[in-house]
Structure formats: structure tokens, C-alpha cells
Structure 1
């Protein structure tokens, strides 16, 4: 199996580090022309230096309507859009303010809504395109420590399914990917107290999975590359019969057959 994305252009949002960066790297290695995205020029520049090649960067906050409009004006067309941008913030439901809920909704959901509205018509006109949303196993296993995050990820999965149906027959596929616990920089930050106590990051990750995601079958966090591999495949012509799907890279955390 050879994935060839030569001649395809791809946007990966929130891609200066973590899963997003790994997806951008995988797409570039498959031949795509990449635009990475982050909120600050400094982080975008560092990511571009790591990525190399002909990748370009856009330092824009896509969690706002103005930010999305700015990106569209500068980048009017893509063949592949990976809506990876997302935030998470552990907070008990009764302590979580409207502002926290709204920020998660704008960043995790509405950024993808706006980008899909902008880029899907062009994909359909060309008869080919890939729109991918990074959901989460939390879309199905709503985490008690951040209900607001789980709700936003459920919305992403529903959005991808609805858009797939809307794009029926156009040659454009729309899917969501459901990572489980993954050793990204964000998760490393969440586990820093455990690491400071003497554990390795890997052991802290294993302990987190055992304590908080006991249904995991692999019993460890995934690597960012393991999640990125699914995204690269779904972005490719080889996945032309897969659309409207919620594809798990969760290590078996979601304890259901379908």
C-alpha cells in the first residue's frame, strides 16, 4: 500500500505541535503541500523549522470568526482540511463557567463549521476532497472531569457525519477520528506533576490510562504518530469508500462493538 498525495494541498489546524504536527508531517511525507497553523508567529516558525520542506505557516487564531475569515482570504482553496484545532481544560461541571463552555464551543466546534462552509464547495466543484475532524473517545465516554470538552467532541463527530451526508455523491469524503489518551505536549503538561515526582512520562501516561481509562485494551497512551497514521490514510485516495465514519484510534477505550 502506497499513499501518494502529490499535487494535493492540505491545511492542518492547530498543528504547531502534538497530533496536529504529526499529521502535517505525515501528509508532507506522502507528498502533500502543507499549510500549518497556530496562534503565534513564534510557535509557527518553530514548527516550520522542524517540518522543513516547502511547508508554509499561518499564525491565526481560528477560534474566532475574524480569524477564519483572515485565513480564507489568504488561503482560498485546499484539497484536504484536517480540523485538529482543539482545547481541553479539566474542570468540575459545577465550577465550569459559561465562558469556558463558549471558548470550547468556538475553538473545538465552530472553527470546523466555518472552515467546512468555506472549503467544501470548492472540493465539490473539483470532484475530490477530504475533510477530517479530530474527535475523541471522549465524544462517547464523556469524561466526568470535563463534561464541556466531551460535549464539544460529540458535536464534532455529529458534524462530520452530517457533512458527509450533505456531500453525498460529490467525491468529497468527511470523517472524524477518535483518538484516546495520546502522549502529546498537552497531555505531558497535564501529567507534569507525576513526572516531577520521579515517574517517566511514559509511566505517568500508563498510570493515567489505568486510573482514568480502565477500558483501554492497549493499556497505554498512543503516540501522536499512531493517530497521525489514520489521518494520512483517510486523507488519501485509498480511502475513497470511507465517509461519514467515526474512526477509532483509542486503544480500545470505547467499550462497544459499533
Structure 2
């Protein structure tokens, strides 16, 4: 299967590193013009430079904007008013040690609200701008990068899991709203992945315990994700492959779906 996105413009939020960066590269490889996004201008500039060097035949641009705020989203939209593909990837998590309910009770309002603004509202704000324009053209792709934590809520990251479940609700609802228009909306659910946040956490954990990163990852899986079937962390490229497919012409019959790239962590038949 050859995915051809020549002539399509794709926005990937939070794409200076991790899953977002791998997705931007995958879309560029397929021929799309890609808009890279991050909060800091220097990181955006460096990501654009590297993606351009790797895929010189694709048009790559970058916009620095904090999408956790309405002002940041509006500034982004002003610079990139139109798109055929929107990948709502930007997000973060607060990795904490969980001992008992007191750790959950101690999560402050700022953490709950901050994660919701970044992980959920960024996608809401951009989708409500770009979706009507996609409908007018009769073609479009919106993908929310959720998580297996959205259906398998982790007690050690309850606030994060809440936002990932919310993304699934928004994604499905928007898919229902654009039914029959030629526009699809889907969610992709990664499992443990060697992304920037979790990857750095594993490096620090390995250093603290005097073990290798691979050993630290295995301890993490055994303790917190023992149902994994691949028994390793996924790569960002493996997750990006699913996202790029969901953005393709070949995925035209897939909408309203929650596409799992979780290594089998979630023990659902469906």
C-alpha cells in the first residue's frame, strides 16, 4: 500500500519530538505539506530544519504557539488558516509515584485543569476551526492522539487518564457530527512508547536504580502494564504508522474509531 498525500496540508500539534515528530516525518514522507508545532521557537526551528533535510521534496513549515490557551490557538490559526489534515497530538502527563489514595487526593486543581486545557481543549479549539473548512472541500482527516490510558485508567496518572478518555468522547462525537461529508475523525491509542516524556522518565529511573534503560522499561511493564503482548515499549515510528494511515485516502471507511497501538495492553476483544 502506497500512501500518497501530495497536495494535502497537514498540521501536527506538539510535533518537535516524540510521536508528533514521527508523525510529521511520516506525513512528509507521504508527500504532504506539514506544519510543525511546539511552544518554543527554537525547538520548532530545529525540528523544521531536520524534517526539511530528511524530506526535501515536501514543504515543511513551523509555528510556535502554546495551544493550551485560547490565545495561543488563535495565534496558530491566524498563521495556518486552512488544512486538510489535523493531528491533535500535543499533550503531556505528570508522572508520579503512587502509594495510596492520598497521592490522588493531593493532585491540585491546577494539574487537573492544566492537563485538560492542553490535552483536550487544544484539540477542541483547532477542530472547531478546521472541520467546517474540511467539510466545505468534501475531504478531511482529523486524528486525536489519545492513549490506552483513556480506556484503562491508570491510578498513578488519574488526571492524565481523564483527559485521554475525554479525547475519545470528543473524537467520536465529532465523527458523528461530520457523518457523510467526506471528512473522518478518529482517535489513536498508543500504549507505553519511547516518547520524549516517558523515555526521559525511564532514563532517570535506570540511572537511579543502576540498571539499563531496557531493564527499567521491563520493570515498568511488569509493574504497571503486565498485560502487554509485545512485552516492550513501542517506538514513536510504530505509533506514527497508524496515525499516517488514518490520515490517508485508504482509510476513507474508518471514522469514529479508537485505533489501538497499545501492544495488546488493553484486554478488550473489540
TM band (smaller chain): over 0.9
Given the two structures, how large is their TM-score scaled by the length of structure 2? 0.93
Q: Is 2:23 aligned against 1:23?
A: yes
Are residue 83 (structure 1) and residue 88 (structure 2) matched? yes
Range with bigger deviation, 187-196 or 31-40: 187-196
How far does residue 223 in structure 1 lie from its aligned partner after superposition?
0.3
State the distance in 2 between where 1:48 and 1:113 align. 25
Q: Does 1:111 align with 2:151?
A: no
User: Retained in 1: the 8 A contact 2:193–2:199?
Assistant: no
User: What is the RMSD computed on CA atoms of the aligned residues?
Assistant: 1.0
1:120 counterpart residue number = 131
Whether 1:144 aligns to 2:149 is no
* Superimposed CA distance per residue, residues 142-166 of structure 1 (whole angstroms, 9 cap, x where no aligned partner): 1111111001000001110000000
How far residue 203 of structure 1 moved from its aligned partner, in angstroms, is 2.9
Which 5+ residue runs of structure 2 have no aligned equivalent? 97-102
8 Å CA contact 1:183–1:205 kept in 2: the answer is no
> 1:62-105: per-residue Cα shift (whole Å, max 9, x none)?
11000011111111100000000001003431111000000000
Matching of residue 184 in structure 1 with residue 195 in structure 2: yes
Residue 55 of structure 1, aligned match among 56, 60, 76? 60
Gaps of 5+ in 1: none
1:1-258 correspondence to structure 2 within 5 Å:
1-52=1-52, 53=56, 54-91=59-96, 92-196=103-207, 197-258=209-270
Paired residues of 2:92 and 2:115 also in contact (CA < 8 A):
yes
Q: CA deviation at 1:193?
A: 2.8
Shift, 1:219, TM fit: 0.8
How far the C-alpha of 1:202 sits from its partner, in A, is: 2.8
Q: Which runs of 4+ in 1 moved over 4 A?
A: none
Contact 2:83-2:134 at 8 Å conserved across structures: yes
CA distance in 1, matches of 2:75, 2:65: 8
Contact 1:160–1:175 under 8 Å retained in 2: yes
Asked if structure 1 preserves the Cα contact closer than 8 Å seen for 2:18 and 2:196, the reply is yes
TM-score for both structures, normalised by structure 1: 0.98
The alpha carbon displacement at 1:108 in A equals: 0.4
Deviation at residue 209 of structure 1 after TM alignment: 1.2
Does structure 2 conserve the Cα–Cα contact (< 8 Å) formed by 1:183 and 1:223?
yes
